[in-house]
């Protein structure tokens, strides 16, 4: 290269520079004419040479002493012509070159072959070095004798420095590339064989430079990529487009895979021919793993979010269902249920219309009880035969829902419903089952899509509706039964009241007329007749007592008894009633004992009713006791109630009959007590009265040992305050 450029430039100073300096031939000829044309030409050359200042051009004598000097020489070397002419040219050489005898060698060579060229360090006058291109040409006369040398020197220091810089930068670059560890950077020759290798390549791929240089780069590709000729394909694209880039799997020396980013760049020479490919590969496995981890965690987050949303939806749905369930449980009859279905259920479901149909008892027909959102439902659709194939009948017959996702599907299966259901795009009909039977169906129509979640919701809702219907029908049946029972009871009470009233009138007449006869108003009566009249009178009294009991009971039962509350002293009641039964007790030879009861023991009750109860208990005690004692005790330990207990030493009552005796008309152990009269109403009336006054009657008994009946009534102070508070 140095020679090339020298060759080029060797011409120019003589031509271009001469011209460039405005060489003027006529001017030269005018100033210097005496020597003729040849002389003129020589003079011109001298001038020319002297004025050239890009080259040092000077002549040496055959021994190397300087004969001439020009501007360029002065500029490069720093000497003036006066200073240097006559000096030996070795003055320009570094000491080591002189010691080598290099200057003489140059001259000898130039003399021998005519020309010597060299590049090397030379010394300026000030001692500094410069890099010079030197051409020494031997000058010979016509006879061929050596007359000296022409020496042309060019200062190449700058070029040399530029070259050094380039070399240094190339070296730096090479070192740089070599030491890069994160990237595999290497060259491929045009056929794809590895030409260079760096540390990064070794680190990433595992091969040392020795192992890999010269190998084809397809060694880095997995078999499947090689099978389809992928490596070659990459080079073709890089050659055509200049560069090829991709990410993909590559193989390490140990056979493991790594995810690589690969850039292949075609490298071309100056003339455009392909010198090879630069290949830069980066191991992205870590990055890819990180991406995958990020992706996985993103997926996880998404999955968690979805799960959260589902849970939220479920929660919201459960809440809505609970609300509907609550509304349905408050509905006691079919109109209330349909009201909940239509006004609350449909909006929650997102439905536009619905109908509730119930099967009749025989299961032959379904009657639509209520509908909503259809406009006017035609008569044929209100009552349908179970043999008709319609969604409701099908749901009731099969016990399974009929779900129709589209109009087309619905029209195809149930063409009869085309017009009625035309405004709705989808339908779902749910069977309603209660007590093991499909009692009806709930049909729901919507313009929304029937997805799984809305169907689930509808199913749950339909179940709730079915349960509500079942509850309603149970409730209704119970209500009806109760009404019937109440009616029967009232009829009975009314009958008893009427009858006993009717019976009392003639009985009173019987008593009255018997008294008249006994008084002898109708004439004298014999003793025998008097005895008979006495029997009539007893029977009449007995019958009247029974009838009074019945009347009493029917009044109590019918809730017609009237209570007049006051503070009642228990000791007074006990004393009064004791006097009433004393004659009968004495007649049977029984002892009647009343324990002391303080006057301030008072109850809040109707005094006559308390007397009636206690009289009944004492009469029974006398009636069912043949010998021994009847005791009346009063217990007032409790602040809430007062207990009066009548204990006898009579026949007793069997354990399993202790409750029955409070039923009306029950008289147990009839055979044992045949001697006793009664209606079996006394205890029933007594308990009703006691309970009506917030009291109670209880009994304990042992057969053959006696019985103990306790009347418990609220204490007055308590009761009184309580009432006033109300």
Binding site for ligand ADP (CB under 6 A): 616, 620-621, 624, 648, 650-653, 661, 666-669, 673, 678-684, 707
**Strand segments (E) across 422-466:** 426-434, 437-446
Q: Least CB distance from residue 660 to ligand ADP, whole Å? A: 8
Taking Cα atoms as reference points, which of 345, 352, 340 lies closest to residue 421? 352
3-class secondary structure, 634 = strand
Q: Least CB distance from residue 592 to ligand ADP, whole Å? A: 14
Q: Least CB distance from residue 328 to ligand ADP, whole Å? A: 47
Instruction: Please state, in angstroms and as integers, the Cα–Cα distance from residue 406 to each residue in 1, 366, 411, 432, 441, following that order.
Output: 88, 25, 9, 23, 20
Could you say which DSSP state residue 417 is in?
G
Whichever of 443 and 701 has its CB closer to ligand ADP, that residue is: 701
CB 372 within 8 A of CB 342: yes
How far apart CA 50 and CA 73 sit, in angstroms, is 9
Whichever of 325 and 707 has its CB closer to ligand ADP, that residue is: 707
Q: Least CB distance from residue 527 to ligand ADP, whole Å? A: 33
How far apart CA 555 and CA 610 sit, in angstroms, is 16
Helix H or strand E segment including 210: helix 209-212
Give Dmax (Cα) for the chain.
224
Q: Least CB distance from residue 470 to ligand ADP, whole Å? A: 42
Q: Least CB distance from residue 685 to ligand ADP, whole Å? A: 8
Whichever of 543 and 717 has its CB closer to ligand ADP, that residue is: 543
Whichever of 355 and 681 has its CB closer to ligand ADP, that residue is: 681
Whichever of 206 and 669 has its CB closer to ligand ADP, that residue is: 669
Q: Least CB distance from residue 590 to ligand ADP, whole Å? A: 12
**Which tokens sit at 417?**
């419903």
Whichever of 12 and 679 has its CB closer to ligand ADP, that residue is: 679
Q: What HEC string does 100-137 produce?
A: HCHHHHHHHHHHHHCEEEEEEEEECCCCCEEEEEEEEE
Whichever of 442 and 590 has its CB closer to ligand ADP, that residue is: 590
Whichever of 152 and 613 has its CB closer to ligand ADP, that residue is: 613
Whichever of 372 and 623 has its CB closer to ligand ADP, that residue is: 623
Q: Least CB distance from residue 653 to ligand ADP, whole Å? A: 5
**Which tokens sit at 631?**
């005791």
Q: Least CB distance from residue 581 to ligand ADP, whole Å? A: 12
Q: Are strands 56-60 and 115-123 parallel, antiparallel or unpaired?
A: unpaired
Whichever of 493 and 701 has its CB closer to ligand ADP, that residue is: 701
Whichever of 543 and 666 has its CB closer to ligand ADP, that residue is: 666
State residue 139 phi and psi, 5-degree precision. -110, 125
Q: Which residue of the chain is nearest ligand ADP when measured via CB?
A: 678
Q: Least CB distance from residue 684 to ligand ADP, whole Å? A: 6
**CB-facing half-sphere around the CA of 350: CA atoms within 13 A:** 12
State residue 701 phi and psi, 5-degree precision. -160, 155
Sign of CA dihedral 538, 543, 546, 552: negative
**Bridge partners of 263?**
245, 280
Q: Least CB distance from residue 614 to ligand ADP, whole Å? A: 13
Beta-sheet strand order (sheet of 56-60):
56-60, 146-155, 129-140, 115-123
Q: Least CB distance from residue 495 to ligand ADP, whole Å? A: 20
How far apart CA 391 and CA 623 sit, in angstroms, is 74
Q: How many CB atoms lie within 10 A of CB 294?
A: 10
How far apart CA 709 and CA 658 sit, in angstroms, is 11
Whichever of 62 and 628 has its CB closer to ligand ADP, that residue is: 628
How far apart CA 379 and CA 338 sit, in angstroms, is 19
């Amino acid at each position: 290269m140095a020679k090339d450029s020298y060759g080029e430039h060797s011409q120019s100073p003589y031509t271009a520079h001469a011209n460039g300096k405005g060489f003027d031939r006529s001017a030269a000829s005018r100033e210097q004419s005496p020597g003729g044309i040849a002389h003129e030409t020589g003079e011109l050359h001298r001038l020319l040479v002297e004025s050239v200042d890009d080259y040092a051009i000077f002549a040496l004598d055959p021994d190397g002493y300087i004969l001439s000097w020009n501007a360029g020489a002065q500029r490069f070397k720093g000497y003036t012509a006066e200073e240097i002419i006559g000096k030996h040219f070795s003055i320009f050489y570094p000491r080591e070159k002189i010691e080598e005898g290099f200057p003489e060698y140059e001259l000898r060579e130039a003399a021998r072959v005519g020309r010597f060229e060299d590049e090397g360090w030379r010394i300026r006058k000030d001692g500094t070095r410069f890099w010079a291109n030197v051409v020494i040409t031997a000058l010979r006369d016509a006879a061929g004798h050596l007359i000296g040398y022409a020496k042309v020197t060019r200062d190449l220091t700058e070029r040399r420095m530029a070259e050094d810089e380039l070399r240094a930068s190339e070296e730096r670059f090479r070192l740089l590339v070599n030491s890069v560890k994160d990237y595999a950077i290497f060259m491929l020759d045009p056929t794809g064989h590895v030409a260079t290798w760096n540390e990064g390549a070794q680190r990433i791929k595992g091969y040392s430079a020795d192992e890999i240089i010269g190998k084809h780069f397809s060694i880095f590709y997995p078999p499947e990529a090689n099978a389809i000729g992928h490596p070659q394909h990459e080079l073709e694209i890089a050659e055509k487009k200049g560069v090829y880039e991709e990410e993909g799997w590559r193989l390490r020396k140990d056979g493991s895979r790594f995810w690589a980013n690969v850039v292949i760049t075609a490298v071309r020479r100056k003339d455009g021919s392909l010198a090879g490919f630069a290949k830069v590969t980066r191991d992205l496995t870590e990055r890819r793993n990180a991406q995958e981890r990020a992706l996985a965690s993103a997926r996880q987050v998404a999955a968690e979010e979805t799960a959260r949303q589902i849970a939220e939806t479920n929660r919201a749905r459960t809440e809505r269902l609970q609300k509907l369930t609550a509304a349905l449980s408050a509905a006691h009859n079919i109109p209330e249920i349909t009201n909940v279905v239509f006004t609350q259920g449909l909006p929650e479901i997102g439905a536009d219309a619905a109908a509730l149909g119930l099967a009749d008892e025989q299961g032959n027909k379904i009657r639509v009880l209520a509908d909503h959102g259809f406009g006017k439902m035609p008569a044929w659709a209100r009552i349908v035969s179970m043999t008709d194939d319609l969604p409701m009948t099908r749901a009731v017959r099969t016990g399974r829902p009929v779900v129709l996702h589209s109009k087309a599907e619905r029209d195809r299966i149930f063409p009869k419903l085309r017009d009625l259901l035309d405004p709705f795009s989808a339908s779902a009909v749910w069977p309603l089952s209660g007590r093991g039977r499909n009692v009806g169906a709930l049909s729901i129509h919507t313009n929304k899509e029937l997805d799984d979640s809305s169907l689930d919701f509808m199913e749950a809702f339909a179940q709730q509706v079915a349960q509500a219907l079942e509850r309603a029908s149970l409730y209704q049946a119970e209500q009806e039964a109760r009404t019937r029972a109440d009616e029967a009871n009232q009829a009975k009470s009314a009958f008893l009241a009427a009858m006993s009233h009717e019976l009392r009138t003639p009985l009173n007449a019987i008593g009255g007329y018997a008294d008249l006869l006994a008084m002898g108003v109708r004439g004298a009566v014999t003793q025998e007749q008097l005895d008979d009249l006495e029997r009539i009178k007893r029977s009449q009294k007995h019958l009247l007592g029974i009838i009074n009991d019945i009347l009493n009971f029917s009044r109590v039962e019918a809730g017609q008894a009237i209570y007049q509350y006051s503070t009642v002293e228990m000791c007074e009641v006990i004393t009064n009633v004791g006097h009433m039964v004393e004659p009968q007790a004495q007649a049977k030879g029984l002892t009647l004992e009343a324990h002391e009861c303080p006057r301030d023991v008072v109850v809040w009750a109707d005094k006559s009713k308390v007397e009636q109860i206690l009289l009944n208990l004492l009469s029974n005690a006398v009636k069912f006791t043949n010998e021994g004692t009847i005791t009346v005790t009063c217990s007032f330990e409790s602040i809430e109630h007062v207990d009066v207990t009548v204990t006898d030493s009579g026949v007793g009552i069997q354990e399993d009959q202790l409750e029955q005796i409070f039923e009306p008309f029950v008289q147990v152990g009839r055979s044992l007590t045949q001697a006793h009269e009664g209606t079996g109403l006394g205890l029933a009336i007594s308990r009703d009265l006691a309970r009506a006054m917030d009291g109670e009657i209880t009994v304990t008994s042992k057969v053959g040992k006696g019985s103990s009946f306790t009347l418990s009534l609220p204490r007055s102070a308590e009761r009184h305050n309580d009432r006033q508070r109300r």
